[in-house]
Amino acid sequence: MKFPKREEGQGLVEYALVLVLVAIVVILIVQLLGTAVTVVFARVLAGLNGQMLNGVGTEYLVSGADITSVGVAGSCDVILTNVTVVAFQDGTALSNASVSVPVTAPGGSSTLTGTTDSNGVATGLGTTFSAACSGTVTIGNFSKGY
C-alpha cells in the first residue's frame, strides 16, 4: 500500500511569497505617491494642531518645535530648535526651495530660514531672539506657549 506524499510547509511558503509581493507593491506605491502622502499627513497633523491651509499663496505648516526662554524677567532670549516646517505654494508642496518663515512673540520677532527637501519639508530649523520671558510664539500660522 502506497501513501500519498505529505507536503508540509507548502502553505507557509505560499503565505511568505504573498507577503513579499504585497510589501513590494506597497513600497512602489509609496515611492510614486511620496510627496502626496507627505502633504496629506502634514495637512492632517496641521488640522489637529489648529492650523489651516487655504491653498492660496505661500503657507507653512509646523509639525514640531522645541521652544524655551532663558533670562531674567523683562529680558529673555527665546530659543527655537528642531523646528520642522512643510512649505506650500498655492496648495502644492514646495520642493527644494528656500523658505523664510516669520516668527513672532510678545516683544520680539525673527525669521526661520532653510531649504525644503523634495517633499517640501524643512527640518532642524532654529533661531534665537529677544522677547518677553513668557508668552506665545507664532511660527507662520502655528502658535505655542513658552
- CA pair distance 116, 105, nearest whole angstrom: 24
Residues 32-44 have a mean pLDDT of: 72
| 130-143 pLDDT, tens digit each | 998 889 999 987 88
- CA pair distance 146, 144, nearest whole angstrom: 7
Give backbone dihedrals phi and psi of 54, rounded to 5 degrees, phi first.
Answer: -105, -5
Q: ∠ CA(48), CA(135), CA(69), 5° rounding?
A: 105
Q: Is the pLDDT of residue 86 over 80?
A: yes
